[in-house]
């Protein structure tokens, strides 16, 4: 990732952007692994960092493609601003770019249901719902509460991905502990969907969410891996026919995105 003093400004600027993208995604995934019904702050931090990281990653791809096809000129600020913060649209644009570069980035319609919902949640959060709590105070909220949306995703993952034996083990321990303390305990907690929790639910949900979030991370890594491959292809193109490459090997900032199921499921801290 080193460059000499003759490199064009775009090289250093995209290099700096690469550090930012990597840091946001790594922090977001790390926070996600500790997020649960009793640690909502980690979930908010995760959504914020992952949405920023994904948006900037895909905008970097759009800029690089534009430079490669427009004699190294860059898109105007207005052109970039027109993309807004809608991550779903940025993903669709990257799919188009992947086709012209012979990289296999699946269309959104071909992603599994969980991945589609994750992408939609991140897109909503990037655009409006990151302000949901403040907007709701003035009755001007737009979109679904991100915590409620996340609760739906957790339920979907628990149903489709988490092994039944793991769920049963967590539920049985919670049931036994709730029974043991029921005469001396009052539970006053709300779930992600704002509904009151029973003592048994309050005891079970952290464990269930811990199992589910590692699969959520897996779905995100599976989405990010082909995007990393796309930026890798564009980065390699920067070294063809140019006296000085206009941008660095951007995939180097994302080399820790390793689409290996067991590795991802067992990892708690990123990169």
Sort 128 into a burial class: Cβ within 10 Å, 0-12 / 13-18 / 19+: middle
DSSP string, 47-61: HHHHHHHHHHHHHHH
pLDDT digits (tens, 9 = 90+) for 135-175: 888 877 678 999 999 999 999 999 999 999 999 999 999 99
- Tell me how far apart the alpha carbons of residues 162 and 230 are, in angstroms, rounded to a whole number: 30
DSSP lists the bridge partners of residue 190 as 196
- Tell me how far apart the alpha carbons of residues 153 and 246 are, in angstroms, rounded to a whole number: 40
- Name the percent of the chain lying above pLDDT 70: 98
pLDDT digits (tens, 9 = 90+) for 79-132: 999 999 999 999 999 999 999 999 999 999 999 999 999 999 999 999 999 999
Identify the residue whose tokens are 């793991």.
Answer: 166
Please provide the average confidence, as pLDDT, over all residues in the chain: 96
Neighbours of 62 (CB within 10 A): 19
State yes or no: pLDDT of 2 exceeds 60: no
User: Exposure pattern of 179-206 as b/e (b: 16+ CB <10 Å)?
Assistant: eeeeeeeeeeeebbeeeebebbbbbbbe
pTM: 0.95
- Tell me how far apart the alpha carbons of residues 162 and 30 are, in angstroms, rounded to a whole number: 19
Sign of CA dihedral 211, 145, 41, 194: negative
Q: How confident is the model at residue 5 (pLDDT cuts 50, 70, 90)?
A: low
pLDDT digits (tens, 9 = 90+) for 20-51: 999 999 999 999 999 999 999 999 999 999 99
**Average pLDDT for 248-269:** 97
pLDDT at residue number 142: 72
Q: Check residue 39 and report its DSSP letter.
A: -
Q: Check residue 197 and report its DSSP letter.
A: P
pLDDT at residue number 3: 47
- Tell me how far apart the alpha carbons of residues 174 and 19 are, in angstroms, rounded to a whole number: 42
């Amino acid at each position: 990732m080193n460059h000499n003093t003759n490199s064009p400004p775009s090289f250093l600027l995209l290099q700096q952007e690469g550090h930012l993208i990597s840091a946001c995604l790594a922090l977001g995934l790390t926070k996600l692994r500790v997020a649960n019904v009793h640690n909502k702050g980690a979930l908010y931090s995760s959504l914020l960092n992952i949405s920023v990281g994904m948006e900037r990653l895909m905008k970097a791809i759009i800029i690089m493609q534009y430079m490669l096809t427009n004699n190294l000129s860059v898109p105007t600020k207005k052109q970039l601003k027109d993309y807004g913060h809608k991550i779903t649209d940025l993903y669709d644009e990257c799919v188009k770019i992947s086709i012209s570069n012979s990289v296999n980035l699946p269309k959104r319609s071909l992603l599994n249901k969980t991945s589609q919902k994750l992408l939609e949640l991140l897109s909503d959060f990037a655009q409006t719902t990151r302000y949901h709590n403040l907007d709701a105070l003035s009755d001007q909220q737009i979109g679904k509460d991100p915590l409620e949306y996340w609760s739906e995703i957790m339920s979907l993952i628990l149903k489709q991905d988490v092994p039944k034996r793991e769920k049963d083990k967590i539920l049985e321990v919670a049931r036994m502990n709730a029974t043991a303390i029921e005469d001396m305990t009052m539970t006053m907690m709300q779930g992600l969907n704002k509904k009151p929790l029973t003592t048994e639910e309050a005891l079970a949900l952290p464990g269930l969410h811990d199992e589910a979030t590692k699969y959520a991370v897996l779905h995100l890594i599976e989405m990010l891996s082909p995007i990393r491959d796309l930026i890798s292809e564009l980065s390699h193109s920067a070294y063809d026919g140019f006296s000085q490459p206009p941008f660095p090997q951007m995939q180097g900032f994302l080399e820790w995105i390793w689409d290996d199921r067991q590795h991802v499921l067992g990892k708690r801290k990123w990169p």
